[in-house]
Amino acid sequence: MDEARLLMRSRAGTAVIAWCLVWALPDGLAAEPEKSVAQLSALEQALADLPSEDETKRERAILVLIEQGDASFLPRLDDLRANADRSLRLAIKPVADLWRNRANLTDPDADTRRSAATDLGASGRILAISWLEAAAAKESHRWVRYAMEESTQLLRLASDDPAVKVEAAAKLGELRSQNAVPALKELVQAANEPSATDRQKTVARAAAAAVERIETWNVWSTAIETLFRGISLSSILLIMALGLAIVFGLMGVINMAHGELMMIGAYATFVMQECFKAYFPSAWFDAYYLAALPASFCAAALFGLILEMTVIRILYGRPLETMLATWGVSLVLIQAARIYFGDLTAVAAPAWLSGGAQVMVGVFLPFNRLFIIGLSILCVAGIYALLFRSGIGLRVRAVTQNRNMSACLGIPTRKVDAYTFAFGSGLAGIAGWALTLVGNVEPGLGQNYIVDSFMVVVTGGVGKLAGTIIASLGIGGLNKLLEPSLGAVYGKVLILVLVILFLQRRPSGLFAIKGRHADA
Amino acid sequence: MPMPEPHAITREGKESTAFWIVGFVLLFVLPVLNVLPPEDSWWHVSDFALNRFGKFLAFAILALGLDLIWGYAGILSLGQGVFFGLGAYCMGMHLMLTIGSESVYGSALPDFMVWNQVKELPFFWKPFYSFPMAFLAGLLVPALCALLFGFLAFRSRIRGVYFAIITQALALLAWLVFNRNETNLGGTNGLTDFKQILGFRLSEPGTQLALYVLTVLCLGAAYMLCRWIIASRAGRVLVAIRDSEQRVLFSGYSPADYKLFVFVVSAALAGLAGMLYVPQVGIITPAQIGVLPSLEMVIWVAVGGRATLVGAIVGAVGVNLGRSILTNHFPELWPFFLGGLFVAVVLLFPDGVMGLTNKTHEKIADWAIRWRKAQVVEEKQA
């Protein structure tokens, strides 16, 4: 085993060195570790010349530094830069950047490697091709390798040989390289000049083909991203509307303070974060977000329970009155939060939810959005199980359908009401918990979503989970679909119009309760 | 759904005396107290107070319309602010145009258009040069909007909470749209800096006094109109719709038509209120027409007492008076107070102030009867 591994490693090592040699030689570079004395002194000389007033001397020095230097000169360059004047700083910067990027190509952090590769591609230094190819050969991360290949081809596009250019353009088209579009377009433009040569025209044809390929891909990737954003917005709406659908659909209670229950969930998350900052070792900090899940659920549920017992219980069967009273409660809660927490409170997303996954070229899916989508699926599954596959759910549904009969059969209907309401409120808390990932925590938080989520409930039909899910997907998706062309405001206007037109055909929503509900 | 009895039908006699007394005080006593006594006198009503009162009375017109649809027909509209805003913007646009080149930038165009680099007056502004057109628009634009919206909503039998939610969405949208700059309606800053109306300077106390008197007259007319509607057969159908729309439908009436009619009337009243509000306050912004203001309007009616037209007026004036006192002294407390009012009015006194006074009336009458009976018994014994 060990022998085999050693063998492999040494083989890989030789291959890499061979690569380096092959690619380093045309640029006139010697193998790196052994720099000749002459080169070292030339570098020393260049470093000494760099601050000189003489422009040509300075330029020559920069050229020498670019061609012969390496990352070990960075500290000295930085020293120089620290007390240089503006023009010298500007002169040093590209050199330092070049070498820093080269050093970063082997950085342990993938993002650093990636941005170094991209920067090198944008630097336009032909000699970077060899470094990029050497690094790409060793690279295991898919998207870093992609960036390295892209940069290599981008640099080749600037070569003098039209054959290399054509090949590079084709390759870039194959890579669907977003960064190459300006350069490619420039090549196409150049061929349109009257003085254009046949060679330029050949190159331009290849470039035009590549541009077309990239732009077709852009349409697709934008579509995929829009779809994804639509789904993630729908998920937030869905989690909110689920809680509403339970209290509204099952109990006939319009809870205008639902958005503020969400706010309570969000502030519970914030409080948990502060607790972890204050009382736990910093290594545990990221766990706060998980700890905040039960906290936000319980805080919102408890508050919902209190609300049910003090206000809503008295108003069962009078939805309009409930609406007004709960709106009053929401006003009080918003102002209380504003006075206690101030106007804006930020919750830092835990490290394991920051960043995202790139699934295709140009398609980047942030983890927090993925997380919210997953959460909403979990919530739906949980509610389904609870309502339709458990004894508690059976009681809830029984009370919904026929309160008196249920009471006669010994179901404590008041208790069921209270717990159902508390559960719906807890769901709002979870929605608030999830919302902290995508926005600020502010007192008006719930107000932004309440109208939308009520529209979801109304469109979906009362008391139907499937309706709520479909309506939130539809409204959230439409929102994101219309936003780019109409803008957020007019998109919303159009959605309201569509909802009203939809209600013309189906006055009680997508899934109406069937039966003779003459005057509910 | 338990609802208070429509008192206006049963207690007409008493109300008409009260109507003439209150009308006399508002129309003659307050203006005279504003003009005649010297400024340091205790009896003097300051220009500011009169102007503020005029604003409240404009709100009362809107509350009358809201009471008509909510109290009598049982339609809770949470978008009344939109109709108010439409009327107010119509008048505001006219006032904006009559400023002419007196504006800060000295341009014939309104100032905000100068900021937004609008070179030419948008076509929909042009009719507002004329006052009669602006006045008609202030009534017709809200009415037409209500007609369209109500037609769609009532035809598909959207009612109760559904209607409330849809109108709330409407309020939100109107707020969003009016906040945009490219609609050429002043964006967030709204319309302001008015100078004159029909050639009278708005800064003159005389103009404001006239506007106040006009508001009182409009309020009186609106009250009479509402009472006439309530007392008519249509009014009785509306009350029937409130109590059971299904039965009205089965009796061969078309509830949607009645509801549409009353909804349009209330929108026009809201528009009128908006038109009277703008020259007295001097500014109209989207903040006046959003979700929260629209809900506040509902609470005026609830506080005063639903299905009592007087209650709507009392509620509108009372809540706004409370608001201006409270926001002057404790600005942070107003949301608590308003929120508490929402809860209290639903839980503690669902019939509003008028309900409370009626109850006291009944108690006094009850007590009087018992006292008389006791007297009779005593006499017999003696």
Least confident of A196-210, B126-140, B283-297: A196-210
Given CB atoms, is B250 within the 8 Å cutoff of chain A? no
Q: How far is B351 from chain A (nearest CA, A)?
A: 12
Is B299 in contact with A324 (Cβ distance < 8 A)? yes
Give the closest residue to B26 by CA, choosing from B307, B345, B340, B314: B314
Residue B224 pLDDT grade (very low, low, confident, very high; cuts 50, 70, 90): very high
**Residue B200, strand partner residues:** B197
Residue A98 pLDDT grade (very low, low, confident, very high; cuts 50, 70, 90): confident
Rounded Cα gap, residues A2 and A18, in angstroms: 24
For the ranges A510-519, B32-41, B328-337, B348-357, the maximum mean pLDDT occurs at: B328-337
Mean pLDDT, to the nearest integer, of A8-17? 53
Give the closest residue to A417 by CA, choosing from A308, A325, A332, A503: A308
Least confident of A175-179, A474-478, B90-94: A175-179
pTM equals 0.78
Give the closest residue to B277 by CA, choosing from B215, B221, B352, B360: B215
Give the closest residue to A212 by CA, choosing from A252, A242, A172, A245: A172
pLDDT of res. A5: 56
Rounded Cα gap, residues A134 and A129, in angstroms: 9
Closest residue in B to A321 (Cα) is B346
Closest residue in B to A325 (Cα) is B343
Given CB atoms, is B243 within the 8 Å cutoff of chain A? no
Which residues of chain B from 127 to 166 reach within 8 Å of chain A, CB to CB?
149, 152-153, 155-158, 160-162, 164-166
Residue B13 pLDDT grade (very low, low, confident, very high; cuts 50, 70, 90): low
Q: What is the mean pLDDT of chain B?
A: 87
CB neighbour class for B215 (10 Å; exposed up to 12, middle 13-18, buried from 19):
buried
pLDDT of res. A478: 87
Residue A24 pLDDT grade (very low, low, confident, very high; cuts 50, 70, 90): very low
Given CB atoms, is B249 within the 8 Å cutoff of chain A? no
B110 vs B8, which has greater pLDDT? B110
Mean pLDDT, to the nearest integer, of A142-154? 83
Give the closest residue to B146 by CA, choosing from B163, B128, B132, B122: B163
Mean pLDDT, to the nearest integer, of A240-267? 86
Residue A509 pLDDT grade (very low, low, confident, very high; cuts 50, 70, 90): confident
pLDDT of residue A73 exceeding 80, the answer is: no
pLDDT of residue B2 exceeding 60, the answer is: no
Residue A520 pLDDT grade (very low, low, confident, very high; cuts 50, 70, 90): very low
Rounded Cα gap, residues B270 and B69, in angstroms: 12
Rounded Cα gap, residues B224 and B363, in angstroms: 29
Closest residue in B to A507 (Cα) is B156
Tens of pLDDT, residues B209-218: 999 999 999 9
Interface mutation vs chain A, best among B75, B77, B162, most A CBs within 10 Å: B162
**One-letter amino acid identity for A382?**
G
pLDDT of res. A519: 41
Given CB atoms, is B327 within the 8 Å cutoff of chain A? no
pLDDT of res. B46: 83
Q: Are B284 and B194 in contact (CB under 8 A)?
A: no
pLDDT of res. A515: 47
pLDDT of residue B265 exceeding 90, the answer is: yes
Rounded Cα gap, residues A150 and A176, in angstroms: 9
Tens of pLDDT, residues A448-486: 788 888 888 888 876 677 888 888 888 888 888 888 888
Q: Are A481 and A475 in contact (CB under 8 A)?
A: no
Q: How far is A482 from chain B (nearest CA, A)?
A: 15
ipTM of the complex, rounded to two decimals? 0.84
Q: What is the DSSP string of A418-481?
A: HHHHHHHHHHHHHHHHHHTTTS-B-TTTTHHHHHHHHHHHHHH-TT-HHHHHHHHHHHHHHHHH
Is B343 in contact with A311 (Cβ distance < 8 A)? yes
**One-letter amino acid identity for B236?**
R
Least confident of A23-32, A41-50, A264-273, B229-238: A23-32
pLDDT of res. A518: 38
**One-letter amino acid identity for B6?**
P
**Which tokens belong to A94?**
């590209």
Q: What is the DSSP string of B170-229?
A: HHHHHHHHHH-TTTTS-GGG-EE---EETTEETTSHHHHHHHHHHHHHHHHHHHHHHHHH
Chains A, B: CB contacts within 8 A come to 119
Q: How far is A320 from chain B (nearest CA, A)?
A: 6
Given CB atoms, is B173 within the 8 Å cutoff of chain A? yes
pLDDT of res. A106: 81
Q: Are A107 and A116 in contact (CB under 8 A)?
A: yes
Q: Are B138 and B87 in contact (CB under 8 A)?
A: yes
Residue B1 pLDDT grade (very low, low, confident, very high; cuts 50, 70, 90): very low
Q: What is the mean pLDDT of chain A?
A: 81
Is A323 in contact with B161 (Cβ distance < 8 A)? yes
Interface mutation vs chain A, best among B342, B347, B351, most A CBs within 10 Å: B342
Given CB atoms, is B251 within the 8 Å cutoff of chain A? no
Least confident of A45-54, A137-146, B269-278: A45-54
A48 vs B312, which has greater pLDDT? B312
Taking contacts as CB-CB distances below 8 angstroms, the residues of chain B near A499 are: 166, 169
Q: How far is A433 from chain B (nearest CA, A)?
A: 25
A295 vs B162, which has greater pLDDT? A295
Taking contacts as CB-CB distances below 8 angstroms, the residues of chain A near B82 are: none
Task: Choose the closest CB to B152 out of A318, A327, A500.
Answer: A500
